[in-house]
Each structure stands twice: as structure tokens, then as C-alpha cells.
Amino acid sequence: MTEKELFIEKMKKRTKSFVVDVIQFCDSLKVNKASSVITFQLVKSATSTGANYRAACKARSKNEFFSKICIVVEEADESEYWLEVIKEASLSNDKLILERLLIEVNEIVKIMSKAKKSTYNNK
């Protein structure tokens, strides 16, 4: 496997792991109307991050890859937003997992933003 192929596989696993961790984390949130809505939004954006990264990896052209990677960046950024809301609204008792998820999604946003920029510059 090439270095690029290894990186792609690592990111597929990383984005899927992020999704699973978010789903499990959401089950631990305080139960109220706000957390119900936020959980729905967070799960949607997190699952979209992973699914669209996989779709980007199967892109048939640079334009299709760029389109999908733009969605990945947008959805990962939205996931980060919802995690920040959970933190600021004190909807979680598990601050360690919340901080770990915030760090992870921030890194995913940075990595995918760089891929987006590189693809745009090479189009």
C-alpha cells in the first residue's frame, strides 16, 4: 500500500470512529428538550462527516472529490459547533469525553480543510 492509500484508510477509520464515539456520547447527555434536539443535529452532522469522506474517496473526478470534501469540512465544522454548544450549555456530565471529541473533530476539520485547499489549488 502507498503512503496515500494508508492515509486514506486511516482517515476512513478515524471518521467512522468519531461517529461511533459521538453516538455513544449522545446517550450520556442530560435528558431534556434541548439535548434531544442537539443530539439529533450532532448525530446527523457527525454521520454525514464519515459518510461523505468515504464518498469522496470513491470520487470519479477531482471535481466530485472537491464537492464531497467540501461537505465533509462543513459537516465536521457543524459537529464541532454542536459539541461546543453541549459544553457551554453544560449538557454533559462527561467532560473528558467531550473534550476528547472536541479535539478530534477540530483535527478532522483541519485535515479535511487542508485536503480541500490542496484540491482547489490543483484543479
Q: Which fold has domain 3-121?
A: de novo design (two linked rop proteins) (1.20.1440)
Contact (Cβ atoms closer than 8 angstroms) between residue 94 and residue 1:
no
Please check the confidence at residue 123 and state whether its pLDDT lies above 70. Answer: no
> What are the residue boundaries of the structural domains of the chain, listed by start?
3-121
pLDDT of residue 61: 93
CA distances for 89 relative to 3, 24, 60, 86, 111, angstroms: 41, 19, 42, 5, 28
**Look-up of cell digits 443530539:** 39
Q: What is the mean pLDDT of residues 12-16?
A: 98
Residue pLDDT, tens place only, 46-55: 999 999 999 9
Residue pLDDT, tens place only, 54-88: 999 999 999 999 999 999 999 999 999 999 999 99
Average pLDDT over the chain reads 95
87 by Cβ neighbours in 10 Å (0-12 / 13-18 / 19+) ranks as middle
Banded pLDDT at 119 (limits 50, 70, 90): confident
